[in-house]
Structure 1
Amino acid sequence: MRVTYPQAPVPNTPNVPGVQVMQLPGLETVIGATASQLSSQFGVADLDVAEGDARKLQYRGQACVLEFYLYPAENGVAIATWVEARRTSDGLDVDRAACIQALRR
């Protein structure tokens, strides 16, 4: 079962034409980040997949799996627009901000 969370406005949300940008409190340090900025926060991604102009970076830890979806912004630089988080043990959705804190180095 997929859990949906209400979207609350977050200041300084980047504009990525044709892509929905996640706007949840607690994600301000990752939404809008480039791949290199995410690597600075989390280290080398466990999975890095490119498909067309999109890119997915996955980070795995004991507590959770964190996935960032990056798309080109107006300036052409790919930035994180969406984040998914799930438990490592069973794949159930978990709080994104808590997973970010658990995996940040």
Structure 2
Amino acid sequence: MRRLFIIVGISALAACAPKVQTPAVVTRPIAPVGTTMIGFTENDLVSRFGQPTFQVKEGPGTKLQWAHNGCVLDAYLYPESGHIGDRVAHVDTRAPSGADISINTCLDLLQR
């Protein structure tokens, strides 16, 4: 009888425990100019900027580069757990001379 009370008590506690939900995988749409591209895939970038002008494999990651209209955009893609394919982890923008250029200005120039 004592075991029955223990089992009933444990069952009652388990029923009151909070439910753990696994977060859904969210795909990121192509963002408007000036917003982050972190998490984008290579396909996202190609659909926005066309084929990269330069591509190189660097260790586990890939560097994709677009250069057009006075802007150079470097996107660094690395494997991300829980996702198939590499995702953008970092983005750099600059003028061809190497001078700093804002990401908003660069993205605007690339899309012309």
Do these two structures clear the TM 0.5 threshold for a shared fold by scoring above it? Answer: yes
Report the CA distance between 1:27 and its aligned residue.
2.9
% identical equivalent positions: 35
**Larger RCO: 1 or 2 (CA < 8 Å, sep 6+):** 1
Please give the root-mean-square deviation of Cα atoms over the aligned residues, in Å. Answer: 2.0
Report the CA distance between 1:98 and its aligned residue.
1.7
For structure 2, the residue ranges without an aligned partner over 5 or more in a row are: 1-25, 27-33
- TM-score, normalization: structure 1? 0.67
Aligned match for 1:46, one of 44, 50, 53: 53
- TM-score, normalization: structure 2? 0.64
How many corresponding residue pairs?
80
2:86 corresponds to: 78
For structure 1, the residue ranges without an aligned partner over 5 or more in a row are: 1-13, 15-25
Alignment of 1:8-87 (within 5 A): 26-28=34-36, 30-76=37-83, 77-87=85-95
Q: Structure 1 stretches (4+) deviating beyond 2 angstroms?
A: none
Flag the structure with larger Rg.
Answer: 2
Q: Which amino acid aligns with 1:87?
A: A
